């Protein structure tokens, strides 16, 4: 019986892969509804998903995002973002929190992105991580960074890359544990002004690669419908978006066949 219980626990954590310390977390109801595809999608949440994407934004914007992974209270994730385009580029700020008091992570990041020519942009983010770990580890304060590139040769095609924690940062010494280095590559193609498909692949140094496919259809003046799938673990996602003047609301949910639903949503405001 004990072996069965331990096996179940190990399976649970292997399947979830949720919020491991310093991992790349996709933000924004739009991207989540498209299976987590985000690295080549240009919108407000590029400030978190690929800072290079914010170079293409033209208005001051702010937003909040929330997610409840598998409807488990201890797997809550919240994020606040702000984007400030200026003549010399675009500045961004994100603040996120996940977990509970004894095991939680707070992240604050400041980013800067700039276009080079008409088709290419670069973005970089400096991140501060505050980790609250069990008693034997205690609290940790870490500094890391992210790097993003985006290439948009025309109004149909977007290419993006996002690298998180490119420099090894130690979390613990005995045993040695590092923040996960993650590389994400993606392509978005707009078949028309109302329909797009996006594909991406993500890989860290330990786990199997994750593949994602998503689609968005703009079927009314202010209404969007979205679908997506992802692998490792296999998940299905869906959602919709609404625009009301300066406000945009995006709601989404992922579904895991064993662990169930993970509802999420975001609200953005453009000044």
User: What was the pLDDT predicted at 5?
Assistant: 37
Task: List Cα–Cα distances, 26 to 77, 129, 154, 173, 192, in angstroms.
Answer: 11, 17, 25, 28, 25
Residue 63 banded pLDDT, cuts 50, 70, 90: very high
Q: Do 40 and 30 contact (CB within 8 A), yes or no? A: no
| Block residue for tokens 């970089």 | 124
Residue 11 banded pLDDT, cuts 50, 70, 90: very low
User: What was the pLDDT predicted at 140?
Assistant: 84
Residue 3 lies in a domain: no
Residue 20 banded pLDDT, cuts 50, 70, 90: low
User: What was the pLDDT predicted at 131?
Assistant: 86
* Model confidence, pTM: 0.89
Q: Which CATH number is 136's domain given?
A: 2.40.160.60
User: What was the pLDDT predicted at 13?
Assistant: 40
Q: Which residue has the higher pLDDT, 207 or 10?
A: 207
Nearest of 242, 190, 185 to residue 216 by alpha carbon? 190
Residue 189 lies in a domain: yes
Whether the pLDDT of residue 26 is over 50: the answer is: yes
User: What was the pLDDT predicted at 2?
Assistant: 40
Residue 6 lies in a domain: no
User: Domain total for the chain?
Assistant: 1
Residue 2 lies in a domain: no
Supply 59's token pair: 């208005």
User: What was the pLDDT predicted at 145?
Assistant: 95
Residue 61 lies in a domain: yes
User: What was the pLDDT predicted at 136?
Assistant: 60
| Number of C-beta neighbours around residue 65 at 10 A | 27
Residue 101 lies in a domain: yes
Domain that holds residue 168: 26-270
Residue 11 lies in a domain: no
% pLDDT > 90, the chain: 76
Q: What is 149-191 written as a DSSP string?
A: EEE-SSSSEEEEEEEE--S--EEETTTTEEPPPEEEEEEEEES
Residue 21 lies in a domain: no
């Amino acid at each position: 019986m004990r072996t069965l219980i331990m096996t179940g626990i190990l399976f649970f954590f292997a399947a979830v892969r949720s919020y491991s310390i310093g991992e790349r977390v996709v933000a924004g109801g739009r991207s989540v509804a498209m299976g987590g595809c985000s690295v080549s999608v240009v919108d407000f949440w590029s400030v978190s998903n690929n800072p290079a994407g914010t170079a293409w934004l033209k208005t001051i914007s702010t937003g909040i995002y929330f997610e409840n992974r598998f409807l488990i209270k201890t797997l809550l994730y919240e994020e606040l973002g702000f984007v400030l385009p200026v003549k010399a580029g675009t500045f961004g700020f994100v603040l996120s929190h996940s977990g509970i008091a004894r095991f939680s992570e707070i992240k604050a990041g400041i980013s800067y992105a700039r276009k080079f020519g008409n088709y290419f942009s670069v973005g970089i983010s400096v991140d501060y991580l505050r980790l609250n770990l069990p008693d034997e580890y205690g609290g940790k304060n870490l500094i890391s960074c992210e790097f993003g590139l985006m290439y948009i040769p025309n109004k149909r095609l977007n290419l993006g890359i996002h690298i998180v924690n490119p420099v090894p940062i130690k979390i613990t010494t005995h045993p040695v544990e590092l923040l996960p280095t993650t590389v994400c590559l993606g392509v978005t193609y707009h078949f028309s002004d109302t329909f797009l498909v996006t594909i991406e692949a993500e890989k860290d140094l330990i786990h199997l690669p994750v593949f994602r496919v998503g689609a968005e259809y703009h079927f009314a003046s202010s209404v969007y419908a979205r679908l997506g799938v992802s692998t490792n673990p296999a998940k299905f996602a869906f959602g919709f978006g609404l625009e009301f003047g300066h406000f945009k609301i995006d709601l989404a949910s992922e579904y895991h066949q064993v662990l169930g639903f993970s509802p999420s949503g975001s609200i953005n405001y453009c000044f």
